[in-house]
Amino acid sequence: MMIMRSQKISSQHPPYFVEIVDIAIKARKALLIGIGGGGDVISTIYVRKFLEKFDVECVLGGVVWERYRRDKKPGPRSLEEIGADKVFDTLGFVDGSERVRGIQPIVSQVAEFLNEKIVAVDISKGVVKLRDDLKNFVERERFDLVFGVDAGGDSLARGFEANLVSPLADSIMLSALKDLNSILAVVGFGSDCELTREQLERYLSELSGEILGVSMVTNDEKLFEFVKNVESEASRIPILAARGYYGDYYFWGEVKTRISILNSLIFYLRLEPVFERSKTAKAVVNAKSFEEAHKILKEMGIRTEYDLELELAKKENLR
């Protein structure tokens, strides 16, 4: 029996935020989805390592949206473009063999590394269709738990923070996952350099009643060797922190940040309350296409990762 139907997650947590342990002990099978595109799928591995301590079978997945430095097409990729084995219109499996214009999507890299099929999530078809497909997939596969995994914590943003770069994918996924009694796993405590530590501390404090627990990324040599060769700073920083890195670090060699053991933390929160306080996620909840979701945020005066990629593409075409 699925936890999202039979065991509604309690609104009160016991001392020391250990409720996530109780939830994991009762679970059999979990779906973990990297919600921000890029390398967030890598952070699902960190969460799986925690859940496997309680013998939870985990299926990993991630939004297929390579950053522009890797894939020169602005916006997310569809299942058809990457050649995924389609299960539903917005969900399909990849096995590591997929390539797009010579680029291997990170979801495919993870599949190859783990030697298992990974769920590719297609947000190009909008929120409404994705929400329906996720519900049907969860019921068909009998998942007890569903996690939205966010590298860095920008999913907690309100939408107008100065350094916020990528609110669109997070907003779409929070909206798509909100009805599944999902858990949001925030991995890395600012490792994406979009929210400051002060902002994260404030937002997590405001959501203290929704925190189910905290764990840490574990140091795994084989995983580290894989992660350090994948283009995802936000998912690389947590394992660097777990290995004891302390000090200045240049994100993509450009933005100076600071790494400490705090970057190895994983916060588990009820996802629906995060959705309810997110103006951007609530705004796109009924979007029937990716373009519609983008237009809604643009009309709100919010610049997204898609706007950035369109600008970069235009500049390159003008050269």
Supply φ then ψ for residue 216, to 5 degrees. Answer: -130, 150
pLDDT in tens, 187-215: 998 888 899 999 999 999 999 999 999 99
Cβ neighbours of 189 (radius 10 Å): 25
Q: Is the pLDDT of residue 15 over 70?
A: no
What confidence tier does 286 reach under pLDDT thresholds 50, 70, 90? very high
Q: Is the pLDDT of residue 33 over 90?
A: yes
pTM recorded for the entire structure: 0.92
What confidence tier does 2 reach under pLDDT thresholds 50, 70, 90? very low
Strands of 118-121's sheet in order across: 85-88, 91-94, 118-121, 57-63, 29-34, 145-151, 183-187, 265-270, 211-216
Query: What is the overall mean pLDDT for the chain?
Result: 92
Instruction: Tell me the CB-side half-sphere exposure of residue 313, using CA atoms within 13 A.
Output: 14
Higher per-residue confidence, 250 vs 138:
138
